[in-house]
Every structure is written in structure tokens, then in C-alpha cells.
Amino acid sequence: MMKKRQYNLVNIIYNDLFFYGKQQLFLLLLVLTSAMLVILVTYNTRSMIMDREKIFLEKDALDTEWRNLILEEKILSDHSRIECIAINELQMHYVDPTQNNMFN
């Protein structure tokens, strides 16, 4: 009777890759390296895009705050408002030019 020979699949793959397929193994490593670099670049690009969007949102918020501060400054520096506060709260009044005595 003939004995059936069993082959070890791991040894066959090892022999094929390292003794007969060095170019194919090298190309496989290049493809895997390229795929990992594509994943890394895509991740970094998406992170930068998200950071850019956050910066634009912050810029818009700061622009809105700046416009509100400019409006508040204009309202607070309005002459009629200042005059009203001077008369009502500080009891100031206009000086009559006839009562003005500069040299005593």
C-alpha cells in the first residue's frame, strides 16, 4: 500500500514566498505600506479639516461679539444719554455765560 504524504501548508507558503517569490513579497510589503500611509494621511487631513471648521466657527463668534461691542460702545457714548445721566444722576447743569466768573 502507498502511504499518503501530508504537506504542511505553512512550510509551502514560506518556501514559495521566501525562496521563489521575493519580488512578490517585496511588492506586497510596498502595497501594505502604501495602504497604511493612505490611511494615516486621510486621518490627518480629516483632523485638519475639523480643526479648520472649529477655527472658522470661533472666528464667526468673535466677529459677532466684536460687532456687538461696537454697537454697545456707540450706544454708551451717545451724547444725549451722557447728558441725561449728568443732569439726573449727577445733578449737573449748564453754566450760564453771564454767571461765569473766571478771574476772582
The number of CA neighbours under 13 Å toward the Cβ of 102 is: 1
pLDDT tens digits, one per residue of 43-95? 999 999 999 999 999 999 999 999 999 998 888 777 777 788 888 888 877 77
Residues 35 and 48: their CA atoms lie apart, in Å, by 20
What pLDDT score does 57 carry?
97
Residues 97 and 104: their CA atoms lie apart, in Å, by 15
Residue spans of the domains in the chain: they are 17-88
